[in-house]
Amino acid sequence: MDDLDRRLINRLQHGLPLVKQPWQALANELDSDPHTLRARVQALLDDGTLTRFGPMFDIDRLGGAFTLAALSVPEERFDAVAAQLDALPEVAHNYRREHEWNMWFVLGCATPEGIAETIAHIEAQTGLPVLNLPKEETYHVGLHFSV
């Protein structure tokens, strides 16, 4: 990672400029060009430095819903259950935790009712009960990691 990559990552954590040509505005700020910056973001995604690049939507305002959920998966089934979750478009991501509830995941659905439907589907598909942990309140934290 060079200086331009670091400046790009630091700047992108604050969002793209809300203008007609955001990559050009960003290039002007970083003394680069739009094609180079987009190629750099793709290279950082390809090599795993960045795991995600995309918008963050307020799903509630759009009529949808998110929830944090967990499963207690027997170790011998962990990879198979993870693959089942990965195949569902409602599952944003899943990860292992060192806990009785060892597989955690985020569900994002087009409607609040979709959460209950997806949980029922996961329980039927896996034969495991889902621990549903819906948010109780929204907090906006301006989190920024300087690189």
Q: Which residues does 121 contact at the CB level (< 8 Å), separation at least 6? A: 88
143 pLDDT exceeds 80? no
Cα separation, 106 vs 128, in Å, equals 16
Please give the span between the terminal C-alpha atoms of the chain, in angstroms, as a whole number: 10
pTM here?
Answer: 0.67
> Residue 61: its pLDDT value, please?
83
For residue 123, name the pLDDT band (cuts at 50, 70, 90): very high
pLDDT, one tens digit per residue, over 124-142 is: 999 999 999 998 887 777 7
> Residue 90: its pLDDT value, please?
95
Q: Please state the domain extents for the chain.
A: 3-46, 65-133
Three-state DSSP class for residue 70: strand
pLDDT, one tens digit per residue, over 54-85 is: 887 778 888 899 999 999 999 999 999 999 99
For residue 31, name the pLDDT band (cuts at 50, 70, 90): very high
CATH architecture, domain defined by 3-46: Orthogonal Bundle (1.10)
> Residue 35: its pLDDT value, please?
98
> Residue 11: its pLDDT value, please?
95
Cα separation, 85 vs 92, in Å, equals 9
**65-133 CATH, one of 3.40.50.300, 3.30.70.3460, 3.40.50.920, 3.30.300.30:** 3.30.70.3460
Cα separation, 11 vs 30, in Å, equals 9
- Percent above pLDDT 70 for the chain: 100
Q: Cα 124 from chain centroid?
A: 25
In the chain, which ranges are E strands? 65-71, 91-96, 103-109, 130-133
Same fold yes or no, 3-46 and 65-133: no
Please identify which residue in the block is written with the tokens 């430095």.
49
